[in-house]
Amino acid sequence: MMHRSLLAACLIGLGLTAPAAAADACDTLAAKVIRVTGASLAGRTGAYAVFRAQDAERMSLDCRNPARITLASLDREPGRAYFALVGLAARALTGADAAHAEVLALNLHQDSLLADAPRRGGTGPALMQCETGRRTDALAGDLTVCRVVPVKRVGGLSHRRRAG
């Protein structure tokens, strides 16, 4: 009987600490995003944080696995500062080189404009997708959207294939 009570207490304790640990990890990541990008926290609910950033209409962090940052602009062709912010967000989330991520975002954006379709690419530990045009989802009204996620690694190796 005592063994069952101890087991139940442990299970309850684990249930209470797992969400707290996830919240702490998300708080830590949100603080890093703020520190690296200069954005300010506009709100936080569960695993989702929204930021105010001068160079993006919308900027959000979803801490669920895999964590991702979404940046949106009302402009079909946003200014260079938007892409610099995407680079900084990639650095905050994945540790990617901000300058390389900025150039990748610019290139993906241009490719998306030409193809009229989303474009994906990666730099170091960051994968990115940028798209342009009208939207019908929660980001309706935003004409440019870039998302950054970390590269999934298994045993220290990336899942990406190399040409050749």
Give the per-residue pLDDT at 83: 98
CA dihedral over 92, 98, 104, 109, signed as positive or negative: positive
Give the per-residue pLDDT at 152: 80
Give the per-residue pLDDT at 5: 41
- Band the pLDDT of 80: cuts 50, 70, 90: very high
- Which pair of structure tokens corresponds to residue 99? 């300058």
- Is 12 contained in some domain? no
- Is 37 contained in some domain? yes
- Is 127 contained in some domain? yes
67 close to 90: Cβ distance less than 8 angstroms: no
- Is 104 contained in some domain? yes
Higher pLDDT, 113 or 137: 113
Distance, CA of 47 to CA of 65 (rounded, Å): 10
- Is 30 contained in some domain? yes
* Enclosing domain of residue 50: 21-154
Average pLDDT, the chain: 83
Which spans in 63-155 are helix H? 80-94, 98-115
Distance, CA of 82 to CA of 74 (rounded, Å): 11
- Which pair of structure tokens corresponds to residue 60? 């959000």
Q: Among residues of the chain, what percentage have pLDDT more than 90?
A: 67
Element at 24 (helix H, strand E): helix 2-37
Backbone phi, psi, residue 69, to 5° = -115, 135
Specify the number of domains making up the chain. 1
pLDDT tens column, 33-45 = 999 999 999 999 9
- Band the pLDDT of 142: cuts 50, 70, 90: low
Give the per-residue pLDDT at 10: 37
- Is 71 contained in some domain? yes
- Is 1 contained in some domain? no
Distance, CA of 5 to CA of 12 (rounded, Å): 10
Q: Is 121 exposed, middle or buried (0-12, 13-18, 19+ CB in 10 A)?
A: middle
- Is 52 contained in some domain? yes
- Which pair of structure tokens corresponds to residue 20? 């707290």
55 close to 40: Cβ distance less than 8 angstroms: no
Q: What is the mean pLDDT of residues 59-63?
A: 97
